[in-house]
Structure 1
C-alpha cells in the first residue's frame, strides 16, 4: 500500500474533532482494503493520513465525501528535492497550515545541510511538528516541542533565505509563555 494525504475542505471542524473524524472515516471505509491512520484539522481543511492501493484511492475519496469536499491528494514518497525548492515548498506548506508536509519538505532540506544550518532547519521543522500535533488535538505536546525548537534555532542568523528566524523565535517564546499555540506565517 502507498501513503497519501487527503485534504478535504473544512467549514466546521476543530482539532478537538480529529479523533471523531478519524473514526468516522474508518467507518465509512470499513469494507475497503485501506487504512486511515489519523486525521489532522486545520482551519481550512481536514487532512487524513491514509494507506491505500492506488486503484482504491478514488473509491476511498468518494466514501469520505460526506465529511467534506476534496481539496487535494498528495502521494507521500521520499523525494530528493533541490534545496531551494524544498525551502519554497516548506514555506508554502507552513503558511497554508499543511504542517506535516512542511516537516517533510524541510526534512529534505535538512538532509542537504551541515553544521549550524542543519540545526536551524531542524528548529523550523520542530515548530511545524508542534503545529501538526495541535491539529491532532495534542496542543500540550506541541507546546513542549517549542523548547527543543528554540534550542535548535539558538542564536542563528535572523534571516534564513526569506524566513524571518527572529520572528519564529519571538512567536515560539510568546506561545510558551501563553501556553497556547497560535498560528502564524513564516
Structure 2
C-alpha cells in the first residue's frame, strides 16, 4: 500500500489518479485501486518479485510526495494490539488497513462483540468507497453498519459505540457523508 501526501485532490480524482499511477509504473506493477482521503492518495499495489518497493514509490512520487509505504500481509496480533492499531489506522484515514487489522479479531469474536467489530469494519469499508467517490455504495454499507451497531452500546476498547452509531445514523438520515474518528 502506497500513501502519497494529498495536497489538493478529492475523491472525484480517484479514477484519474489510478490511470496516472498505472501509466507511471508500467505493466510489471499492478495498481488495483486508488482512494483519496483528506490526508492521503492511497494506491493498492502488487510489486513483482525482485522489484524494490522504493522504486515503485519513486515512480508514484511524480503524482505527489510520498507519505508511507507498507507491505500488507495478514499478521497475527493479540486482540488488544489489533484493536488499538485499527483505531490508529482509522483515525489516520487509512480505512482499508483498519478494516484488515480488525478482520482477524472479528473472525474469532462472538455475540455483541462480533456485531461491534463488524459494524466498525463496515464503517471503514464504507469510507473506502467514499474515498473513491462512490457515495451511494458508502451509504448502503453504512446502513448495514447501523444494523450491526443498533443492538450494541457502551464503550468497547475505548471506542464509544453509541457515539459512532449516532454519527452513522446522522450520515444516513442527511445523505451527507462526513467521515469521523473513533
Q: Taking structure 2 as the reference length, what is the TM-score of the superposition?
A: 0.95
1-side partners of 2:65 and 2:49: how far apart? 20
Q: How far is the alpha carbon of 1:54 from its aligned partner?
A: 5.2
3-state SS of 2:50 partner: helix
Q: Could you report, residue by residue, the CA deviation over 1:127-146 in whole angstroms, capped at 9, with x for unpaired residues?
A: 11100100011111011111
Unaligned runs of 5+ in 2: none
> Contact 2:57 / 2:69 at 8 angstroms: preserved in 1?
no
3-state SS of 2:23 partner: helix
Residue in 1 that maps onto 2:21: 25
Following superposition of structure 1 onto structure 2, how do residues 54-65 of structure 1 map, counting pairs within 5 Å?
A: 55-56=50-51, 57-65=53-61
> Contact 1:83 / 1:112 at 8 angstroms: preserved in 2?
no
Q: Give me the CA root mean square deviation.
A: 1.1
Residue in 1 that maps onto 2:168: 172
3-state SS of 2:168 partner: helix
Once structures 1 and 2 are overlaid, which stretch shifts more, 48-57 or 128-137?
Answer: 48-57
Residue in 2 that maps onto 1:9: 5
1-side partners of 2:170 and 2:49: how far apart? 43
Following superposition of structure 1 onto structure 2, how do residues 99-138 of structure 1 map, counting pairs within 5 Å?
A: 99-138=95-134
**Within the alignment, does 1:143 sit opposite 2:136 as a pair?**
no
**Within the alignment, does 1:45 sit opposite 2:40 as a pair?**
yes
Following superposition of structure 1 onto structure 2, how do residues 148-159 of structure 1 map, counting pairs within 5 Å?
A: 148-159=144-155
Q: Taking structure 1 as the reference length, what is the TM-score of the superposition?
A: 0.93
The count of corresponding residues between Structure 1 and Structure 2 is 181
2-side partners of 1:134 and 1:114: how far apart? 29
4+ runs of 1 displaced by more than 6 Å?
A: none
1-side partners of 2:56 and 2:8: how far apart? 22
Q: How far is the alpha carbon of 1:55 from its aligned partner?
A: 3.4
Q: Could you report, residue by residue, the CA deviation over 1:77-103 in whole angstroms, capped at 9, with x for unpaired residues?
A: 111111001110111011111000110
2-side partners of 1:157 and 1:183: how far apart? 20
3-state SS of 1:48 partner: strand
Unaligned runs of 5+ in 1: none
